[in-house]
């Protein structure tokens, strides 16, 4: 192969592999905010729900000592059938619209050897800032399937590291390799229409262009589900997801 062709091939390979750098900014599609509406709703669970376990801190007394008594694992927070920490997002229907990447970082703390929040969302290319609120070493190990993994060390209280995820993925698992119970989840989308349910299982997506959408929910223990929802001009669509606990 001539040298110039070899160089071109090497360049093409380098571009194809990527290096985790932020993709070039694309011009956002204009949205007519006078016609946008909302999608609101609630995530509930039908039938009996297993009792959430408690964290086994093992020999990590410096983690256990930050809490008064047993600490729930956090993977199944349900109050009267209302599901907290479910991730709700528009899965389909936005067409080829391009959305601006928010300049505000998503911040996730590590406090008492737990991720706070446990479930979070970010846009592709948005800064996600992991902060260490504990006076001990944590690492943050994210393992997306479609983007580069990251594994950053946060050796002391107040330390922080920022990452970005290159491709949409629901959900990305985030763990600390030192403390095996530490589990976080990051939902990454190429648009801003996602939310994590509150203690009442509620969520609201705002400024949604009129249209027909597939709305999806993800929960780490209760699985996934989709539903169809229509947003009329200035409309307020209301929906409800009913999940079932595995027997």
The C-alpha atoms of residue 133 and residue 110 are separated, in whole angstroms, by 5
Closest CA to 140 of 175, 166, 111, 164: 175
Q: What are phi and psi of 176, to 5 degrees?
A: -105, 125
Output the DSSP codes for 20-43: SPPPPP-PPPP--TTT-EEEEEEE
CB nearer to Cu ion: give 114 or 229: 114
Minimum CB distance to Cu ion, residue 139 (Å): 7
CB nearer to Cu ion: give 182 or 208: 182
CB nearer to Cu ion: give 139 or 197: 139
Q: Is 20 left (phi over 0), alpha (psi -120 to 50) or beta?
A: left
Minimum CB distance to Cu ion, residue 67 (Å): 14
Output the DSSP codes for 75-104: S--EETTEESS-EEEEEE--TT---PPPSS
Minimum CB distance to Cu ion, residue 71 (Å): 14
Interface residues toward Cu ion, by CB under 5 A: 138, 176, 178-179, 182
CB nearer to Cu ion: give 64 or 168: 64
Minimum CB distance to Cu ion, residue 113 (Å): 6
CA angle 152, 169, 122 (to 5 degrees): 65
CB nearer to Cu ion: give 128 or 231: 128
Minimum CB distance to Cu ion, residue 143 (Å): 15
């Amino acid at each position: 192969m001539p040298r110039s062709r070899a160089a071109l091939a090497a360049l093409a390979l380098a571009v194809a592999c990527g290096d985790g750098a932020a993709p070039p900014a694309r011009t956002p599609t204009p949205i007519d905010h006078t016609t946008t509406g909302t999608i609101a709703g609630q995530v509930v669970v039908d039938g009996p729900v297993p009792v959430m376990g408690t964290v086994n801190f093992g020999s990590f007394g410096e983690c256990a000592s930050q809490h008064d008594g047993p600490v729930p694992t956090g993977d199944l927070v349900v109050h009267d059938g209302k599901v907290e920490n479910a991730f709700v997002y528009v899965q389909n229907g936005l067409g080829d619209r391009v959305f601006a990447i928010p300049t505000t970082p998503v911040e996730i703390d590590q406090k008492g050897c737990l991720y706070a929040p446990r479930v979070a969302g970010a846009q592709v290319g948005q800064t996600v800032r992991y902060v260490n609120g504990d006076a001990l070493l944590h690492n943050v190990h994210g393992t997306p399937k479609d983007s580069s993994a990251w594994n950053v060390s946060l050796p002391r209280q107040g330390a922080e590291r920022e990452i970005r995820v290159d491709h949409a993925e629901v959900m990305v698992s985030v763990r600390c390799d030192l403390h095996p119970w530490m589990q976080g989840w990051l939902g990454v989308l190429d648009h801003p229409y996602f939310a994590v349910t509150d203690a009442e299982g509620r969520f609201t997506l705002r400024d949604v262009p009129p249209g027909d959408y597939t709305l999806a929910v993800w929960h780490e223990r209760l699985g996934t589900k989709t539903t169809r929802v229509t947003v009329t001009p200035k409309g307020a669509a209301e929906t409800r997801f009913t999940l079932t606990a595995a027997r």
